[in-house]
Amino acid sequence: MKNEKPQILLVDDDKTLCALLQEYLQEDGFDVTSLHSGDEAIARLIQHTEFDTVVLDIMMPKVSGLDVLRTVRAKSKVPILMLTGRGDDIDRIVGLEMGADDYLAKPCNPRELAARIRAILRRTHQEPLSNNQHYQLHGIVLDSGSRSVSVNGQVAVFTSAEFNALRFLMEHAGHAISKQDMTLEVLNRQLDAYDRSMDVHLSRIRQKLAAMGVVDVIKSVRGMGYQMLTERVED
């Protein structure tokens, strides 16, 4: 991290809630900047790169959190945690599909929010999973040290969650990994009931690999989880 304290950008049009969350997070060791509109968030994130994580409310007037996410994700890999309505499953899935790293339902417990932020920071800045920092399979070359990926010689861009999921699959290629283990390892939290986060992250990884010519290398194992195949399935 660039500073001793993690730099968090909190974006929510509810100024009272922002003040409460900012106070809690700052007491918990974060350096927090609050903004209250989507256009302010876009301008700040496009011009500055000092933030370690963004906490972004979906439901904001004029420029929504999803609008912010779409604009920022086209230019930046900064980790983004979406705040969603408790029953807004569609918004959660759409947010993940657009590149959000995680989500938390509102009203949220500040302690849970702090835990989710720390989980994102751990996986964004974590050390390599093993002494072997390079993985190569199916034309995919992943470097744990530089957190970079190339596919068939082309640079591939993944969010922190997607990168860690791909790395975990490649490290355990040939073995089925449970969704519970994937969630714990990749998102640094327990799998919640009806949580589709890992399904969406894996779907995005498949889409990105397919766009670069690598298809059918990640298998969904019914009742279990996922598996990176050691040999590509031929039609």
Tell me the pLDDT tens digit for each residue of 33-52.
999 999 999 999 988 778 99
Closest CA to 146 of 154, 137, 135: 135
How many other CB atoms are there within 10 angstroms of residue 154's CB atom? Answer: 11
SS3 content of the chain, % helix, strand, coil (to 5): 40, 20, 40
Instruction: Name the band, by pLDDT with cuts 50, 70 and 90, for residue 194.
Output: confident
Considering the segment(s) 134-228 as one domain, its CATH architecture is Orthogonal Bundle (1.10)
Write out the two tokens for 95. 């947010």
Distance CA 33, CA 92 (A): 24
Poorest-confidence range of 30-34, 102-106, 144-148, 211-215?
144-148
CATH number belonging to domain 7-125: 3.40.50.2300
Distance CA 182, CA 175 (A): 12
Distance CA 221, CA 52 (A): 34
6-28 residue pLDDT tens: 999 999 999 999 999 999 999 99
Share of the chain above pLDDT 70, in %: 92
pLDDT at 234 over 90: no
Poorest-confidence range of 54-63, 65-74, 85-94, 206-215?
85-94
- State residue 128's pLDDT score: 44
- State residue 52's pLDDT score: 92
Per-residue pLDDT averaged across 213-233, rounded?
87
The beta strands (E) that lie in 126-194 are given as 134-137, 140-143, 148-151, 154-156, 177-178
Distance CA 174, CA 57 (A): 39
**Domain range summary for the chain, segments of one domain joined by +:** 7-125, 134-228
- State residue 233's pLDDT score: 54
